[in-house]
Amino acid sequence: MALKLSMTCGLYDPSQPLIDGRVTPRDIDLEIHVNSDDRSRQRDGREGKFDIAEFFTGIYMADLEQRTLGLTAIPIFVKRMFRHSYIYINRHAGICSPKDLNGKRVGLQTWFTTTALWARGILEDEYGADLKSITWVANWAEKIGRWQPPPWLKLEPAPQGVKLHDLLIAANIDAGITTETWAPFGHPDIDFLLPDYAEQERQYFKRPASFRSNTRS
């Protein structure tokens, strides 16, 4: 008798064969719920609504000391991609390069969002941005076990009910890291921090000795 399991994940190239049935797990009757909304999928995972869930690595890691989530990670990275094109600026904020973010206000969905986590790494490691000098404005707060923000972190909540995108247009923040697509066909005041991101990603990929893409398990 097959083991019945339920799973939730986003729709990506690696998950597509499982979703459309081209690949079927042996001896498992797998029911897949595709949910492309990261936040609600993560909430479902936390609430134990599924046996298997794609989950934010950062939240899982921050909880690891206390293990309040009740989750066990298996080393399957369902999503790997570059994040150079997920960093946007207000064209009037005086930002011409990543180092110009120093001392500025940068929005993100949450401190733990995988995209933002990897983008911060790129900004610091590849372009020398000083992350500690930046005021981070988070759309949502995350409560994770006994996790406490490090003393250097300047993290403030965005005004309730206001979208990061609108904060950037209003110049309440100077830049934003998001999984949403804000350019090139969005508001005229919003642009990519790295307009030549495709070339930047190619160069990034060619460099050896470090791990080169966003992962989420």
Partner 1 sequence: MQAKAVEHVIKRLDLKATPPLSKIFDFSLARKVLAEIQSKGWKPGA
CA distance 37 to 124: 28
> Which three-class secondary structure state does DSSP give residue 18?
helix
Nearer to partner 1 among residue 185 and residue 211 (C-beta): 211
Least distance from partner 1 to the Cβ atom of residue 215, Å: 5
Least distance from partner 1 to the Cβ atom of residue 125, Å: 9
> Which three-class secondary structure state does DSSP give residue 9?
strand
CA distance 134 to 129: 9
Least distance from partner 1 to the Cβ atom of residue 114, Å: 9
Return the C-alpha torsion angle 107, 111, 116, 121, nearest 10: 110
CA distance 28 to 97: 50
Nearer to partner 1 among residue 135 and residue 217 (C-beta): 217
CA distance 86 to 213: 13
Nearer to partner 1 among residue 62 and residue 190 (C-beta): 62
Nearer to partner 1 among residue 50 and residue 90 (C-beta): 50
How far is residue 136 CA from its own chain's centroid? 14
Least distance from partner 1 to the Cβ atom of residue 101, Å: 15
Residues binding partner 1 (CB under 8 A): 57-58, 61-62, 64-65, 72-77, 111-112, 117-118, 120-121, 150, 152-153, 210-211, 215, 217
